Amino acid sequence: EFDEQTTDAKMCLDDILNMARKPRFALKSPQLAEACFELFYRLYAHPTTSLEFSSYLQRRMTATTVYVDTPTTSVPILFQLLDSLRHGSHSACTLLQRAWLLKSIALDVYSTSRRGDRWSSNVRDALCRLGFWRSEDEGQGLRSDYVAYEQKRMRMLELLDTLAAQISPPRALPPTVAGIAIQRFRRQITPQMYTYDTRALAAVAPQNNIKAKKKSGDLLNDAENWNRSIFLLRACEQAIDGWRQLCEVSLHEGGRPRHGQADATNYDTTLYSLLSGVLQKLCSGDFMWQWVGRSLSAVALTVMAKIRIRARSGLKGEAMSLAGRNHVLEEILQAVLRSQYHTTRANLYAIFVNYMQFIQESIARDR
């Protein structure tokens, strides 16, 4: 139960939250921090505790903020915790910490929006913090050109940058070990991912002479490196999937600008910058970005669909410049050429078709 009387009293959840908000807690105790953030997500995700837990965090938000640079008590707790991981490492634990927090914020935005106007200020605050809307105190003279986002990088893209772990393709193991097929030592964790049982490999690897021992040692090192890379890739997948969930929820909720034409122009710029930022990752050819290309290309396709819907319904600002249109087209084509996986390529083909239709419709409207 999370009623007012219970949460005002000292309880276990208070201790967990206070511990999670301590400076450098996630760095000093990464596995414990991951478990705490997963607990927060589970409480948000469960239908019987979601509303109560959201209200609980809202009441606890007035506590002293420990992670932001400027003294304030208005930063939502989940954003405080996410900000505390900004300068963390790219270990599997740290990536999973970010994954749980991103998924929790996505659930919070979605569920809060479903509760009606009484909660709308919380949704607006989250969308402003993520860069989908302008905050109330921002100036009105925003440039409407496509390149305006270069002046201030969108927070969603900054969050995506924090998930960029340096991962190289793991070295493949030989097809057999001591006459046994290497597949016998694999442990499947997903349909596309598997690790190796290093104990079983060590038990059968030849040890009868110095050369054999060295070869066996290299084999075990390769297996351990493979396992580490797979665990890190798996953590990257979950972190990027959390980012995707937050992005798609925000796109759904942020499609109704509040400030007339000026805000519509800014929102169009936001959509273009988000599309370009995601395409740049897919164009890089980096192994990690290619591996998570399914999630990234799904976000890009959602953004492209939003751009077309807004253009058709008249909810759009000034038209993108010719240079901006060509730049986006080049990024789409480069991403298609560099894509290595069927699902990613299928999404990129859909983006290309939608983009060409969008350009044709824009030209027809301008005549």
pLDDT of residue 197: 94
Query: CA 282 to CA 297: how far, in whole Å?
Result: 8
Alpha helices in the chain (DSSP H): 4-8, 12-20, 25-28, 30-45, 50-60, 77-84, 92-114, 120-130, 155-161, 198-204, 210-253, 260-283, 287-291, 293-313, 322-338, 342-366
Predicted confidence band of residue 313 (pLDDT cuts 50, 70, 90): confident
Mean pLDDT, the chain, rounded, equals 83
Contacts of 208 (CB under 8 A, 6+ apart): none
The pair of structure tokens assigned to 296 is 């990234």
pLDDT in tens, 236-256: 999 999 999 999 999 988 766
Question: Residues 76-84: contacts with CB within 8 Å, 24+ apart?
Answer: 76/122, 76/125, 76/126, 76/129, 77/17, 77/21, 78/40, 78/104, 78/105, 78/108, 79/105, 79/126, 79/129, 80/21, 81/20, 81/21, 81/26, 81/37, 82/159, 84/23, 84/24, 84/25, 84/26
pLDDT of residue 64: 45
- By C-alpha distance, which of 282, 362, 364, 353 is closest to 324? 362
- Residue 31: is its pLDDT beyond 70? yes
pLDDT of residue 355: 94
- Residue 275: is its pLDDT beyond 90? yes
Q: Whole-model pTM?
A: 0.85
Mean pLDDT of the 202-212 span? 82
Say which residue, 263 or 91, is predicted with more confidence: 91
Mean pLDDT of the 211-235 span? 90
pLDDT of residue 213: 84
Predicted confidence band of residue 149 (pLDDT cuts 50, 70, 90): very low
Predicted confidence band of residue 285 (pLDDT cuts 50, 70, 90): confident
The pair of structure tokens assigned to 201 is 């490999």
pLDDT of residue 268: 82
Say which residue, 36 or 111, is predicted with more confidence: 36
pLDDT of residue 153: 78
Whether the Cβ atoms of residue 77 and residue 57 lie closer than 8 Å to each other: yes
Mean pLDDT of the 131-147 span? 53
Mean pLDDT of the 134-144 span? 49
- By C-alpha distance, which of 344, 279, 335, 343 is closest to 307? 279
pLDDT of residue 305: 93
- By C-alpha distance, which of 282, 260, 287 is closest to 339? 282
Three-state SS across 156-179? HHHHHHCCCCCCCCCCCCCCEECC
- By C-alpha distance, which of 301, 310, 199, 299 is closest to 244? 299
pLDDT of residue 65: 42
Mean pLDDT of the 77-98 span? 88
pLDDT of residue 260: 47
Predicted confidence band of residue 70 (pLDDT cuts 50, 70, 90): very low
pLDDT in tens, 320-357: 777 888 899 999 999 999 998 999 999 999 999 999 99
pLDDT of residue 7: 46
Count CA atoms closer than 13 A to 151's CA, side-chain side: 9
pLDDT of residue 317: 55
